[in-house]
Chain A
Amino acid sequence: MEGVGVGSSPRRAVGALTQGGGELEVRGVCKSFGEVQVLRDVSFTVRQGEFVTLLGPSGCGKTTLLRIIAGLEKADSGQVLLSGSPLCGLPANKRPVNTVFQSYALFPHLSVYENVAFGLRSRGMVNGEVDRRVLPSLDMLQLGSFARRYPHQLSGGQKQRVALARALVNEPEVLLLDEPMSALDAKLRAEVQIEIRRLQRRLGKTFILVTHDQDEAMTVSDRVLVMREGRIEQGGEPTEVYEHPVNRFVAEFLGLANLIGARAEDGVLATELGRLMTHQQPTWQRGTLAIRPERVRVWGDEKPPHNAVHVMIRELIFRGDHTDLFVEPGNLRVRVPATAGVRAGQHVWLELPAEHLQVLAD
């Protein structure tokens, strides 16, 4: 009795919702676990077909946010809207949203084929139809030859592809990925990131990925939302967030940054490295400037016309495709091509180009 009722209603709900545009809007979501405020008034919109990453350190609330969108957690206040209609009343099994879990959460007693077919069977699809949808999904993720295997017979990468296929076969409006690559080794992870990116482009589906890995965020996403302590600190395209971080946290979390303490004095900025010019005007009296190691220009014996700093190369670290220099004063990190021909102990002139010197908000 109950099985029939529950089995048929999600199909209707999913059918009704798939006709919309597929734009996901999170509006003023707050969530606390006991005393701890995990999400503080989070709002953002994800366009149809966009790949958005929620990036932040552990405990920043990114996973909780994803679980609220999935319907596995209930927001204290605020709304999640898909194509304009609120999702909040719907439990997880009635949302046109599927999740790839961090641990993959495959059903251990079901074969790869049955794992992928699970969502379809839940919605009462008959065998022939299940076959017609599962087989192409398995092929799409190169799992065709593994259909009869069980999860314990698969490698980490294969399990991850099964989890992806299991979610995608349901043709969700939005696919949620909860750190799906954290269990893979570095080399495989880099490959899978590109694969997932291509897959998303090909399917034109909305993907929302949660990760603490900034490389991963920049590799896969159209847009990165950097989170800290339950808030979105900055959102934008990877290049935008990388080149123009708004505060120290974003500058340091996304890639490497040299932070330089500064004081605003009559339109110029006084720092321990001398007076520096920037393209932006600071709003503070005392604050921080940031510059990426690869943006620092090495001039050698010649003094650059602007933002010149004379330094001594204290340490030199060869990294294969580039070399990192640590220089004094300021303990700056400078990234130069591996063939730059500098040596430790050398005194050189550096330029901190004004267009790359970022004025941070704090």
Chain B
Amino acid sequence: MFTKPGDTAQLLWNGELTTRGRLYRLGLGLAGGPVLWLGLFLLAPSVVLIALAFAQRGAYGQIEWTATLDNFVRLAGLGGDRWTGDYLLILWRSVWMAIVTTALSLLLSYPLAFFIASRTPRTRYLLLSLVMVPFCTNMVIRTYAWQLLLSRQLPIARLAAMLGFIDAESSLYPSAFAVYLGMVSTFLPFAILPLYTNVERLDWSIVEAAHDLYASRWRVFRHAILPQTIPGLSAAIILTFIPAMGTFVVPDLLGGANYMLVGSLIQQQFGASRNLPFGAAASFALMAMTLAVLFLLRRHGKEAAREG
């Protein structure tokens, strides 16, 4: 077998006498599995999906491998005789709903993370388990449970009716309120957990230093607490925003036809409509938008950190 001059030279690696060649083989052995996994189940499907976005639907729902921009043209609303903003509205609504869901989740979980972290270890784990409990039930079941809870005979809807938010004898769903309720309750744990791990390891001496240096409550928060929770916040944003962008069960069940999101659109195209290429194009748009928003957030975050 051909070996390079360096391959057989003895070298010390973490206290072990070995050769460069042996190290390479060890590295390949360790990294090989994950690389193969990602290649087969992430990279390859993505390539197929992107290729599919430029294909066409045949008359019977089969795929015709052509190179066309038709799917994207249709997505932009330019497919028919006149321009229509339907699909763009769906895309925009998805982004907006994901942003609002993320913002609400952060707003709720930020103080909650501090509350949990300030309890005794026993209570802390109890509370964390309570946060995790929803994970253990199926999302569809949970969403149906919300439907029940918000239906017109039950106290929540009655209270809303009494306060004049809805007409008497009507239920609270389908509505934007119900969708956000369902979305936030689904994604809240994803925001709490990274924030909690961050808050638990907060350096409180910096907070004390701010107090010691005459800071008002706002200044203490702004300079001693917020900068320290940036890592937790960005993790929470990523973990809620990405799944919120692609979700379709919750808005479908709680929002009705008026709240169609890109997730539902994709599901419909791959399912009932059997228009795989158009579904792929919508998926492609979803991916691009998600990456764009995350990129903007990241750049903004870096600038904010630099400004101090």
Among B209, B213, B216, B224, point to the contact of A6 (Cβ < 8 A). B216
Cβ contact within 8 Å between B223 and A72: no
A contacts, CB < 8 Å to B? 2-3, 6-7, 10-11, 14, 70-72, 91-94, 97-99, 101-103, 105-111, 114, 118-119, 122-123, 166-167, 170
Cβ contact within 8 Å between A107 and B223: yes
Stretch of B34-42, B98-106, B200-208 with 4 or more beta carbons under 8 angstroms from chain A: B200-208
Cβ contact within 8 Å between A105 and B215: no
Task: Report how many residues on chain B are interfacial, defined by Cβ distance under 8 Å.
Answer: 21
Measured CA separation A166–B217 after assembly (Å): 19
Among B203, B212, B216, B224, point to the contact of A7 (Cβ < 8 A). B216
Among B216, B224, B305, point to the contact of A3 (Cβ < 8 A). B216
Cβ contact within 8 Å between A72 and B308: no
Measured CA separation A2–B217 after assembly (Å): 9
Which label, helix, strand, loop or mixed, suits the secondary structure of the B interface?
helix
Cβ contact within 8 Å between B206 and A118: no
Which residues on the B side are within 8 Å of A97 (C-beta)? 212
Q: Is B214 an interface residue (CB 8 A)?
A: yes
Which residues on the B side are within 8 Å of A108 (C-beta)? 206, 227-228
Which residues on the A side are within 8 Å of B214 (C-beta)? 10-11, 14, 93-94, 119, 122-123, 170
Give min CB distance, B215 to chain A, whole Å. Answer: 5
Measured CA separation A308–B178 after assembly (Å): 95
Of all chain A residues, the one with the shortest Cβ separation from B213 is A119
Among A111, A118, A170, point to the contact of B210 (Cβ < 8 A). A118
Apart from A99-B212, A122-B216, 9 more pairs, CB < 8 Å: A70-B212, A99-B208, A101-B205, A106-B206, A110-B223, A110-B308, A114-B308, A118-B213, A122-B215
Cβ contact within 8 Å between A92 and B203: no
Give min CB distance, A126 to chain B, whole Å. Answer: 16
Cβ contact within 8 Å between B215 and A107: no
Cβ contact within 8 Å between B205 and A105: yes
Cβ contact within 8 Å between B227 and A109: yes
Of all chain A residues, the one with the shortest Cβ separation from B304 is A109
Cβ contact within 8 Å between B208 and A105: yes
Cβ contact within 8 Å between A99 and B209: yes
Cβ contact within 8 Å between A3 and B206: no
Which residues on the A side are within 8 Å of B219 (C-beta)? 3, 122
Which residues on the B side are within 8 Å of A102 (C-beta)? 205
Which residues on the A side are within 8 Å of B208 (C-beta)? 72, 92, 99, 101, 105
Which residues on the B side are within 8 Å of A7 (C-beta)? 216
Residues 214-242 of chain B: 1 if any A CB is under 8 Å from the residue's CB, otherwise 0? Answer: 11111100011001100000000000000
Q: Is B211 an interface residue (CB 8 A)?
A: yes
Which residues on the A side are within 8 Å of B215 (C-beta)? 93, 118, 122
Give min CB distance, B222 to chain A, whole Å. Answer: 10
